[in-house]
Structure 1
Amino acid sequence: MTLPLQYLIFDASDDGEGTGTWDAVASVRAADLPAVWAEVHAVLACAQQHSPGPRGPLDDGGTWDADEHQQTDGDWTTVTLTLTGPWAWGEALVARWSGD
């Protein structure tokens, strides 16, 4: 299953110990905000469906976690989504979304 993303583009970083962080940021005008949040919710649903274990802070025993934020500045709203979890899991998810 490929989940086509039009707004969210993920940038990955590896901690060198098998855990990765994938950050996506989308800055849009109000008319596009529902579409961005639809992508965020679809990504989170896919992450949950392919979960490597329980979601929660890694320091508290979670296997993966996600954080979403929204900030408005004038006519633009920025939505940020961060996923954290096992490197192989995250890379497989990103490959689904990018069609790789």
Structure 2
Amino acid sequence: MTLDYLLFDTSEGSDGTGLFEAMAAVAPAHAAAVEAEIAQVLAWAEAQFPGGRAPVEDGGDWDAELQVTDEADGGIARRVYTLSIGGSEAFCAAFAGRFGDALA
């Protein structure tokens, strides 16, 4: 799956955990496409690590947070999506292998 809207920045913790963060600011006409990409990423994570969604510090394999805001810059409406996905070393390796083309 190619991601057209989400481009993830990455960071690593000293304990092998990692964080992937993407932001997409789009016109309302493109909101459904961004939401579909987010749903695909989250569905992949759940399929690869079923039942593993929980904070890593609590023993989970991965967790995610999604923030959505509406903004108007110069009268132009934009919907801004911020997706953060953190995970264990195994999750991060699998994520990078699957979504490597979408990593900054």
TM-score in same-fold range (> 0.5): yes
In terms of mean alpha carbon deviation, does 19-28 or 87-96 score higher?
Answer: 87-96
The whole-number CA distance in structure 2 between the counterparts of 1:73 and 1:16 is: 36
- The aligned counterpart of 2:44 is 46
Aligned mate of 1:24, from 22, 25, 34: 22
Equivalent residues in 2 for 1:7-22, closer than 5 Å? 7-22=5-20
Q: Which runs of 5+ in 1 are unaligned?
A: none
TM-score between the two structures when normalised by the length of structure 2 = 0.83
Letter in 2 for 1:93: F
Q: Which runs of 5+ in 2 are unaligned?
A: none
Structure 1 residue 16, shift from structure 2 partner: 1.5
Aligned mate of 2:66, from 65, 68, 91: 68
- The aligned counterpart of 2:95 is 93
Structure showing greater radius of gyration is: 2
The whole-number CA distance in structure 1 between the counterparts of 2:25 and 2:97 is: 22
* Count of aligned residue pairs for this structure pair: 97
Instruction: Tell me the secondary structure at the aligned position of residue 66 of structure 1.
Output: strand
Residue pair 1:70, 1:77 contacting (<8 A) in 2 also = yes
Residue pair 1:10, 1:94 contacting (<8 A) in 2 also = no
Assess, with a 3 A threshold, how the Cα gap between structure 1 residues 92 and 59 changes in structure 2: closer, same or farther: closer
Structure 1 residue 52, shift from structure 2 partner: 7.3
Assess, with a 3 A threshold, how the Cα gap between structure 1 residues 60 and 89 changes in structure 2: closer, same or farther: closer
